[in-house]
Amino acid sequence: MIGKLRGLIDSYGEDFVILDVGGVGYQIHCSARTLQTLPPPGEAVALSIETYVREDQIKLFGFKSDIEREWFRLLQTVQGVGAKVALAVLGTLPPADLANAIALRDRAAVARTPGVGPKVAERIVTELKDKAPAFANVDPAVARLSGAIDEARAPRPVADAISALVNLGYGQPQAAAAIASASRSAGEHAETAQLIRLGLKELAK
């Protein structure tokens, strides 16, 4: 299976890029957002690849990061979500925003994706609530804050925000570190939703 390709951009199609790798042109399907971030033809790029093998075809899907590829795989565990819909979701919401939407059960954010109705959006935020990948490592400087919050004694919004990040797949120290930093920047009266957003930004650094 192909897991990564590095080469020169040859040309673009409506939903794919042709990547020249040592003289071989690979057609790689990407989200609209990923295509917009790729360089012009002739420049080098590396893409994480998901390979689909069917009886009648082999199809490659490309992503700017392994994290985005993990989300692509995860989204397809939801009933009614195939490769096309998963790619469309990632074209609408980058991984950090998707994690944020799931943590806050924000169906409307997911439903902004073309082809995704309210029912599918509801299934995505519900079924992925406890499965979302830990898609970033906490900076060591932030990790030192992990002991700064005693969850049992923390204000309710802080404790709820930590719990939400843990449910997204982060370890307890990571979650506490991120929310400690978020709480410092947002102030003591910050609400849970704001802390979750700031915490996810810390984790995505």
pLDDT at 166: 83
Same domain, 50 and 78: no
| Same domain, residue pair 81 and 112 | yes
Task: Identify whether residues 113 and 153 lie together within a single domain.
Answer: no
Domain check: are 46 and 91 in the same one? no
pLDDT of residue 132: 60
Q: Whose structure tokens read 């993990």?
A: 70
What is the total count of domains within the chain?
3
Low-confidence ranges of the chain (pLDDT < 50): 134-152
> Would you say residue 117 lies in a domain?
yes
> Which pLDDT score, from 0 to 100, does residue 139 have?
41
Residues 91 and 118 in one domain: yes
- The one-letter code for the residue type at 79 is Q
- 86 lies in which domain range? 67-127
155 and 104 within one domain: no
Query: Is residue 186 included in any domain, yes or no?
Result: yes
